[in-house]
Amino acid sequence: MTVIRSDDNLEAGIADRTEVRLAGEGGQGMILAGIILAEAATIYGGQNAVQSQSYGPEARGGASKSEVVISPGEIDHPEVLLPDVVVALSQEAFKKFGSSIKPGGLLIVDADKVDSASSPKAIRLPITKMAFETTGRIITANTVALGVLVGLTGVVTRTAIEKAIIARAPRGTEEMNHKALDAGFAAAEIVTKKLP
């Protein structure tokens, strides 16, 4: 499993395009997470990004996905074809989107929501549980997931994702969202230390 780090990519002159798919159940905030990631890349990171989304037929409970393409240069094709990174916060989302990843890509799943037998090569973290333990609200799982994603990949800077999250946070929830993001970064740091 390859962990993508922006500083490595710049030095090697590779990966001029990063494709990310964020998936979960309707109501988990993965669509918003994709919008925030795209805004972090463009507004606060000086890169180009395209974000798209789709929902299952159910308003809540069905699989939904948000896709983001990030590039320092022009984005010729705005669609995610084969993602570098997939984040799945539900079993249904994993079933639909977990296998469509580049060889050597990064798969991040919620350990409590995605069956371990179905994702043996995934980075498994209890994202929803971490959100609840950190903020008392499971709705912040999408923010924890963004912290994990950015912490493991460096696709945008920590400063950029922090600014994007705070800009989108409803008034009075800034501190809660900041704590959730910090929890995600802390989990990514632990994972990074364990990687070969």
pLDDT of 118 higher than 90: no
Residue ranges of alpha helices (H) inside 13-140 are: 30-42, 91-97, 127-135
Phi, psi (degrees; rounded to nearest 5) at 108: -115, 125
Q: Are 151 and 185 in contact (CB under 8 A)?
A: yes
Q: Are 147 and 184 in contact (CB under 8 A)?
A: yes
- Residue 1 within a domain: no
- Cβ-Cβ contacts under 8 Å for 124 (sequence gap 6 or more): 109, 110, 111, 114, 116
pTM of the complete model: 0.88
- Residue type present at position 149: L
pLDDT single digits (tens) 102-117? 988 999 999 999 987 7
Phi, psi (degrees; rounded to nearest 5) at 171: -55, 130
Domain total for the chain? 1
CATH of the domain at 174: 3.40.920.10
Show the domain range for 166.
6-194
Q: Which residues partner with 71 through β-bridges? A: 48
pLDDT for res 61: 61
- Residue 146 within a domain: yes
- Residue 98 within a domain: yes
**Which SS3 state, helix, strand or coil, does residue 149 take?**
helix
- Residue type present at position 136: G
- Residue 50 within a domain: yes
Mean pLDDT computed over 44-58: 86
pLDDT of 165 higher than 60: yes
Q: Are 66 and 33 in contact (CB under 8 A)?
A: yes
Between 135 and 16, where is the model more confident?
135
